[in-house]
Chain A
Amino acid sequence: MQIELTINEKAVKWEVAFDELLADTLRSHGFLSIKTACDTSCCGLCTVWIDGKSRLSCSILSLQAHGKKITTIEGLPKEAEEFAQILSAEGAEQCGFCSPGFIMSVLAMKNELVNPSEEEIIHYLTGNLCRCTGYMGQLRAIKTFLGVA
């Protein structure tokens, strides 16, 4: 089946199988920032934006992306770099495997929440698991990034 979508501001037509997941489609087209770490929509590693909202690309059929605007971290080089600089200055990208999905969630949060409290930040990002860092360093980086105490 053919779908038409916009990926990182570029219109594309892709051939996909009816049961293909968006995460797999994206990887097969070279968007290798997409990581997956569960089969149960639990980890958040596969987070992308669909029409500007952060979504789990492992839990969406590629067919459902038809007509949508998809953004991956490859499409946000400037913003991602800006936050990644802060994150890695903190040392909070340990293995880094969770980082792209996490960064997509953080950037979405920045667009959605104004001056979030620590609690709101934690709540917004609960779906992004990280087994390496224990989350504290990520939180420090977010606070620096958002300029909140």
Chain B
Amino acid sequence: MKSVGHSIRKIDGMAIATGKPVYTEDLAMDNALVVKILRSPHAYAKIRSIDLSKAESLEGVECILTYKDVPNVRFTLAGQSYPEPSPYDRLILDQIVRYVGDEVAIIAAVDEKTAQLAMKRIKVEYEVMEPVLDFEQAIGHSSIVHPEEDLSCNFEIGLNKEKNIASSYHEEVGDVEEELKRCAVVVEDVYYPQAQAHTMMETYRAFSYLDHTGRLIVVSSTQVPFHIRRQLARALQIPASKIRVIKPRIGGGFGGKQTGAGDVFAALVTLKTGKPALIIYDRKETFTCTTSRHAMRLRVKLGADQDGIIRAIDMQVLSDTGAYGEHAPTVLGCVGHYTLPLYNKTRAVRFDGHAVYTNKMPAGAFRGYGATQGTFALESIVNKLAERLKLDPTEIRLKNISKVGETFLTGQGVMLGSTSLDQCIVRGKELIGWDEKFPRREVGPNKVRAVGMAITMQGSGIANIGTASAEIRLNDDGNFTLLTGATDMGTGCDTILSQMAAEILEIPMEIIIVNAGDTDTSPYDPGSYASSTTYVAGTAVVKAAEELKSKILAQSAAFLGVSREDVELNGLAVRTLSGDQEISFAKLAELTILGTGKLQLVGYATHGSEVSPPPYVAGFAEVEVDRETGKVDLIDYVAVIDCGTVINPNLARIQAEGGIAQGIGMALYEQVRYDELGKMATNTFMQYKIPTRKDVGKVRIEFEVSYEPTGPFGAKSIGEVVANTPPPAISHAIYNAVGVRENHLPITPEKVFLGMQK
């Protein structure tokens, strides 16, 4: 293959690396109004009165909007395909504020200073209510986070607002209780993954203006332009046809930008004033007023027979969705969907979960989407089982994992199309030096080194829901335009999708123009999330390219006066098999598009998959623990990945290294703390530590290629699965080092130290 499988540089790489003005703020008009948000200082309160008089009279203040000025229609900020599973539980501004940081007023002024000054002059009287802060106390709490009558859902998601339950999910196959009784060994434990922050470097931002026809244009740093358009239409009560959402280059997303933030405020200002408006969340707002990973409590019980064959899995999950239910039902469901199929020798599995409302910052989508939390719990308990049975942790996995052609209990008969997870485990073991290093070695008077491991899976797209469309045109001068709604967020999909188109059309990538992420011009795509771009949008591109290819061949054959079977592609031309006649793409374009042609050749496809094939990772950690201080140094992390065919090895490697680093942060550093009144204390990079380049040790990635029959060129996804193994693998390594099983993430030196004292 000429394009696919090669480490081709990203088509926007040089521009973004050298600081060219291609991000949202760079494109905003200089005269855009500055939009700022007055936020609630209370975790739970009702607004009694708002006095704007002193603020509105300031020169340079354009408008100040409160709950009285917004449409009375509840919506969700979750970027999901319609009908969204997330509850419609928020207004643009509400009279009830539900967490410290919830929006109270929107201020638009000619500059930042004026907006800030106006904000200070707004007087709000609150009736403060008792907040629900501990998610384990949410069900049955005397305060109800969402008492409103007009909250609604598109589906039965098990919402019970009187009990602060945003969503419930139950799934059961076989009789778990019975099966557990029959098991020779049963292990159980409770795990608490934290509300990790995405901390993408470009904070949330959007700017909006009205175009020459009076339509609302929103340029947004988002992963989901089409969903943002639909969300704005509902929230602002204007037709979607009056809105265009454009995604420029964006400075990281990690799922955070699958949830709206700020777009609706800027858009409302533009609608009210007719003027361009720019909103930029500062870092503190990004930490405290957007979304995070769902903090969870996972109780897991695992039963196995004497040989270590896992026969029963029982998972009870409590998920903290915070003040609003963005992604609450789906993240909850994914905890089970992306863990239970890993081990398919089970005879019974049960999943029972609730996502609860609390008066804290909402949770949302974050790379891994429930799989990360579920993997931490399941893999930790499997490590515990291995120890109980005195089996090597790698061996117990090899005995239990699913093979090609097999099904799993909750999988409704879907067969596994591809896996090289067994090879990933074997290869990872070699790379880390498992046999020499497991479980621990003393390396100094107070220092001990140990290894730990975990495996994981994710999906590739959302089966039967996620669809993507793509269009490829042969242009008038013989080059091509690829139109896609996929949203490159640095991950390189604009490049990867053109690699695929180039491969099918047998053309160099340089003659493909990519136009993406604009709701006016792009064919529909849900956006970049759910690990779907390569797999779903990629297949749409392949199909569109194939359609165009066959049109090119047919049309060329007609022009050459031969039959369709007698021609083939040849460079930038089509020639007869005998080689005696040829027509260049440029000529073909001229004959079809210009003058008498009247038939521009276009390939178009919409693709959705009936399956969501899992990519896999086997992750291995080596840590060094200081017995005196509890300090943990990550020495080495090995991840061996099965993402099917690797379309662009370098880009896949960076995805993997970056995902692993985020997992390392979750395992060791990224602590979220609230004070007793519900204010988040970890709201800057001083308090909330993401890994620096000193903190990640050495991360090594390898690929064990498999071939996924339903994927483009055999590819599966990679973006999310890579985030999942570090918490359980590192936690396992720490346990092997010093015998401390710390189930509350992150595993800080204090916790290890205290654990060692027990």
Q: Do B251 and A136 touch (CB < 8 A)?
A: no
Q: Do B13 and A88 touch (CB < 8 A)?
A: yes
* Contact of A33 with B20 at beta-carbon distance under 8 Å, contacts A39-B283, A90-B650, A135-B661 already known: yes
Q: Which of A32, A99, A137 contacts B21 (CB 8 A)?
A: A32
Residues facing B in A33-71 (CB within 8 A) are 33-35, 37-40, 42-43, 45
Q: Do A73 and B19 touch (CB < 8 A)?
A: yes
Q: Which of A91, A123, A134 contacts B699 (CB 8 A)?
A: A134
Residue A22 lies at the interface, judged by CB distance under 8 Å to chain B: no
Q: Chain B CB within 10 Å — which of A90, A93, A131 has the most? A: A131
Q: Which of B13, B17, B684, B698 contacts A38 (CB 8 A)?
A: B684
Q: How far is the CB of B671 from chain A (nearest CB, A)?
A: 15
Q: Do B490 and A132 touch (CB < 8 A)?
A: yes
List residues of chain B with CB within 8 A of the CB of A125: 693
List residues of chain B with CB within 8 A of the CB of A97: 16, 23, 200-202, 251-252, 490
Docked complex Cα distance between A132 and B202 (Å): 11
Nearest neighbor of A96 in chain B, beta-carbon distance? B16
Docked complex Cα distance between A4 and B684 (Å): 34
Q: How far is the CB of A6 from chain B (nearest CB, A)?
A: 19
Q: Do B252 and A132 touch (CB < 8 A)?
A: yes
List residues of chain A with CB within 8 A of the CB of B369: none
Docked complex Cα distance between A138 and B692 (Å): 12
Residue B216 lies at the interface, judged by CB distance under 8 Å to chain A: no
Q: Do A39 and B684 touch (CB < 8 A)?
A: yes
List residues of chain A with CB within 8 A of the CB of B253: 95
Q: Do B9 and A89 touch (CB < 8 A)?
A: yes
Q: Do B696 and A135 touch (CB < 8 A)?
A: yes
Residue A115 lies at the interface, judged by CB distance under 8 Å to chain B: no
Residue A16 lies at the interface, judged by CB distance under 8 Å to chain B: no
Residue B492 lies at the interface, judged by CB distance under 8 Å to chain A: yes
Q: Do A136 and B199 touch (CB < 8 A)?
A: no
Q: Do B17 and A96 touch (CB < 8 A)?
A: yes
Residue A15 lies at the interface, judged by CB distance under 8 Å to chain B: no
Q: Which of A32, A42, A89, A129 contacts B26 (CB 8 A)?
A: A32
List residues of chain B with CB within 8 A of the CB of A74: 19
Interface string of A82-120 (1 = CB under 8 A from B): 001101111111111111100100000000000000000
Q: How many residues of B contact A (CB 8 A)?
A: 56
Residue A130 lies at the interface, judged by CB distance under 8 Å to chain B: yes
Q: How far is the CB of B132 from chain A (nearest CB, A)?
A: 30
Residue B651 lies at the interface, judged by CB distance under 8 Å to chain A: yes
* Contact of A80 with B283 at beta-carbon distance under 8 Å, contacts A96-B251, A125-B693 already known: no
List residues of chain B with CB within 8 A of the CB of A42: 684-686
Interface string of B436-479 (1 = CB under 8 A from A): 00000000000000000000000000000000000000000000
Nearest neighbor of B7 in chain A, beta-carbon distance? A91
Q: How far is the CB of B28 from chain A (nearest CB, A)?
A: 11
Q: Do A38 and B658 touch (CB < 8 A)?
A: no
Docked complex Cα distance between A139 and B657 (Å): 12
Residue B18 lies at the interface, judged by CB distance under 8 Å to chain A: yes
Docked complex Cα distance between A97 and B21 (Å): 11
Q: How far is the CB of B247 from chain A (nearest CB, A)?
A: 13
List residues of chain B with CB within 8 A of the CB of A33: 18-21
Q: Which of A37, A99, A135 contacts B17 (CB 8 A)?
A: A99
Q: Which of A91, A99, A129, A135 contacts B19 (CB 8 A)?
A: A99
Residues facing A in B122-162 (CB within 8 A) are none
Of the four ranges (under 10, 10 to 19, 20 to 34, 35 or more), the interface on chain A belongs to 35 or more
Q: Do A137 and B654 touch (CB < 8 A)?
A: yes
List residues of chain A with CB within 8 A of the CB of B199: 131
List residues of chain A with CB within 8 A of the CB of B685: 38, 40, 42-43, 129
Residue A144 lies at the interface, judged by CB distance under 8 Å to chain B: no
Residue A133 lies at the interface, judged by CB distance under 8 Å to chain B: yes
Interface string of B317-343 (1 = CB under 8 A from A): 000000000000000000000000000
List residues of chain B with CB within 8 A of the CB of A72: 19
Q: Chain A CB within 10 Å — which of B7, B18, B202 has the most? A: B18
List residues of chain A with CB within 8 A of the CB of B282: 39
Q: Do B283 and A37 touch (CB < 8 A)?
A: yes
Residue B39 lies at the interface, judged by CB distance under 8 Å to chain A: no
Residue A122 lies at the interface, judged by CB distance under 8 Å to chain B: yes
Q: How far is the CB of A120 from chain B (nearest CB, A)?
A: 12
Q: Do A91 and B14 touch (CB < 8 A)?
A: no
List residues of chain A with CB within 8 A of the CB of B696: 134-136
Nearest neighbor of B687 in chain A, beta-carbon distance? A40
Q: How far is the CB of B494 from chain A (nearest CB, A)?
A: 13
Docked complex Cα distance between A12 and B219 (Å): 33
Residue B660 lies at the interface, judged by CB distance under 8 Å to chain A: yes
List residues of chain A with CB within 8 A of the CB of B229: none
List 28 A–B pairs whose Cβ atoms lie within 8 Å, in order of A's numbering: A33-B21, A35-B201, A38-B283, A38-B685, A39-B283, A40-B684, A42-B684, A81-B18, A84-B14, A84-B18, A91-B648, A91-B651, A93-B13, A93-B16, A95-B16, A95-B200, A96-B13, A97-B490, A99-B19, A128-B693, A130-B201, A131-B198, A133-B657, A134-B657, A134-B658, A134-B659, A135-B693, A137-B650
Q: Which residues of B contact A (CB under 8 A)?
A: 7, 9-10, 12-21, 23, 26, 198-203, 249-254, 282-284, 489-492, 648, 650-651, 653-655, 657-662, 684-686, 690, 692-694, 696, 698-699
Given contacts A40-B283, A94-B655, A96-B490, 4 further A-B contacts (CB under 8 A): A74-B19, A94-B491, A96-B12, A131-B252
Q: Which residues of A contact B (CB under 8 A)?
A: 32-35, 37-40, 42-43, 45, 72-74, 77, 80-81, 84-85, 87-100, 103, 122-123, 125-139
